[in-house]
Amino acid sequence: MVEEQTNINVGAEQKTWQILEEVKDPEVPVLSIIDLGIVREIQITSPLSSPAGEGSGVRVTITPTYSGCPAMDVIQMDIRLKLLEKGYKNITINQSLSPAWTTDWMTEEGKRKLKAYGIAPPNPKQQFCSPEMFQQEAVQCPRCNSLHTEVISRFGSTACKALYRCLDCKEAFDYFKCH
Ligand SMILES: [Zn+2]
């Protein structure tokens, strides 16, 4: 009996990860919050398919891309709305600030989507990031793949991005900053 309940929860958890795949980053709509790697944990407190049906509960733990990112409020609201739409009633969203999100948590699929969208994905070699490293890092142009680029502004269209210019194809592009 206990085992059966566990199986229901595992299935419901997998399904919920798929549901959250539909929640997009409001700043970069091609990326889901799963691509971003900000969803840390999903716990089913009461599965949707439970015989009682009522009170289906889920707890989602997310880590903000950086504290104070205005997009996080929108993301939390979008998660809640999406889960309500799918039938969950008791929704708890926790924020976990430690360990801090890093661009390493972004999925390979997410990095590929970013590039296709015309935003340079975070530098894969980078583990940590300081203002000094940020200035030195080589950023690849998402259009022509040239590493011959220069920073125009530390802040691009949003605080999470920096504005760069490619010295080869002369195009300006956003770079998804490390934090
Ligand atoms: Zn270029």
- Report CA(138)–ligand 1 centroid distance (Å): 13
- Report CA(53)–ligand 1 centroid distance (Å): 54
- Report CA(52)–ligand 1 centroid distance (Å): 57
pLDDT digits over 90-132, tens only?
999 999 988 988 888 999 999 999 999 999 988 755 444 555 5
pLDDT digits over 9-54, tens only?
788 899 999 999 999 988 888 999 999 999 999 999 887 765 655 6
Of 101, 96, 32, the C-alpha closest to 62 is 96
- Report CA(36)–ligand 1 centroid distance (Å): 24
Distance CA 30, CA 110 (A): 8
Question: What confidence score (pLDDT) does residue 54 get?
Answer: 61
Distance CA 65, CA 160 (A): 8
